[in-house]
Amino acid sequence: MTEQRNFLRNIWYYALPGRQLKPGQLFAKQLLGEPIVFGRTHAGEVFALRDICPHRAVPLSCGRFDGTAIECAYHGWRFDETGQCTLIPALNDNQDLDLSKFQVRRYPACESQGNVWIYMSEQERGEVIPKYPVPVVAGFEDAVYQSTYTMKFPCFIDHAVVGLMDPAHVPFVHRAWWWRSDAILTAEIKAFDPSPYGFTMRRHRLERQTFFYRLLGGDADVEIAFQLPGVRVEQIITNTNRVANLTVITPISETETEVTTMFYTTIGWFKPLLPILQPFITTFLGQDRDMVVKQQIGLKYDPPLMLIRDADTQAKWYYQLRSEFTKADAENREFVNPVKSQILSWRS
Ligand code: FES
Ligand SMILES: [Fe+2]
């Protein structure tokens, strides 16, 4: 399989933590190879526009924002949060120009559970209506994450996603005293079901109820859901608590991808743990990134890649989901989930 580097369109991508955007502020960020400027109005609304002035291409993020309108730094054209041009200062009073033709591309953006999401549409003009809502971490509908951490991976999105759902690398890549001290593999048997735009590892009781899980309340169940374009939610549910780890993958360009991992918990004593937890999260993600860096050495030669049964079935599903999403979109029909309920077994 030779690599195809196209991004999924008409789908929500995680963009940035909501806290990064204060009212009256702009924040420029490239996503899917496109320059985007995010902003938050004084009223608290989040918006996203193409970060290029339609006049002479100066980034709008270089301009001034008063919490209502952006004023371009070059000739002072003003745009509201919908991207509509509202003022061209160089015009005389008697020169009436139809400003409605001057419109910056607007992307649907929204804030959910502490995060800003952007709908990267195919359609460039006019109002875009997203086909479905933003992914949600169940059980924390009105909550904000308790910790968030982002790391850049020097690869195309697919390699970061496949790495995320690859059970077989764990004993080799994440070999550490606090996680896995050796490479003794154990047999795993897990049931999977299709779920919206992805699949879910069916909820099951954790076999190794270690000290940590007893601390969380005991009888820990786990459930892991994946959905396009690169959203993974792992839920740990105990007798008294719930911990959710949301990992989201966002392409910056064809060669750069951001991986963000967040925790939502009902645990009162989670916050003070963070300074202790943070280095572990960094190490863990860093191990994945280091492997991606090594993988890039080989990928330069565009070799065919192999996917084996069971251990790589989730990766296969990802590619199937991705291609069905693209096809359904192109044919303007409902997405039909290609995943069927299945038991997978592997050693890890
Ligand atoms: S380039 Fe933006 S106003 Fe001229
Ligand atoms: Fe990993």
- The predicted structure's pLDDT at residue 254: 96
Could you tell me if 116 and 155 lie in one domain?
Answer: no
Distance 267 CA to ligand 1 centre (A): 50
Q: Ligand 2 centre from 344 Cα, in Å?
A: 19
Q: Whose CA is nearest to atom 3 of ligand 1?
A: 75
- Is residue 30 one of the residues assigned to a domain? yes
Does 134 fall in a domain?
no
- The reply to whether ligand 1 has any atom less than 6 angstroms from the CB of 60 is no
Q: What is the mean pLDDT of each run of 10 residues along the chain (348 residues)?
A: 78 97 98 98 97 98 97 98 96 90 96 98 90 94 95 97 93 74 78 98 84 79 97 94 96 98 91 87 94 96 94 97 96 97 94
Whether residues 161 and 114 share a domain: the answer is: no
pLDDT tens figures, 36-48: 999 999 999 999 9
The domain that holds 321 is classified in CATH as: 3.90.380.10
Ligand lying nearest the CA atom of residue 259: 2
pLDDT at residue 213 in the model: 76
Q: Of the ligands numbered here, which is closest to the C-alpha atom of 175?
A: 2
> How many domains is the chain built from?
2
Q: Are residues 94 and 156 in the same domain?
A: no
Q: Which of 75, 88, 91, 102 to mutate to test the pocket of ligand 1 (most atoms within 8 A of CB)?
A: 75
Ligand 1 contact, 14 CB (< 6 A): no
58 touches ligand 1 (CB under 6 Å): yes
What pLDDT is attached to residue 271? 85
Q: Are residues 178 and 290 in the same domain?
A: yes
Decide if 132 is inside a domain.
no
CA of 247, nearest ligand number = 2
Q: Could you tell me if 40 and 46 are in contact, meaning their C-beta atoms sit under 8 angstroms apart?
A: yes
Q: How far is the CA of 53 from the centre of ligand 1 (A)?
A: 6
Domain around 22: 11-120
Closest-lying ligand 1 atom to the alpha carbon of residue 53: 2
In this structure, is residue 175 part of a structural domain? yes
115 and 214 assigned to the same domain: no
The reply to whether 170 and 310 lie within a common domain is yes
Residues 56 and 152 in one domain: no
81 and 152 belong to one structural domain: no
CA of 284: how far to CAs of 106, 134, 151, 186, 231, in Å? 36, 27, 11, 20, 18
- Please give the pLDDT value at position 312: 97
Ligand 1 pocket check for 59: Cβ under 6 Å: no
According to the model, what pLDDT value does residue 113 have?
Answer: 98
Residue range 64-111, pLDDT digits in tens: 999 999 999 999 999 999 999 999 999 998 888 899 999 999 999 999
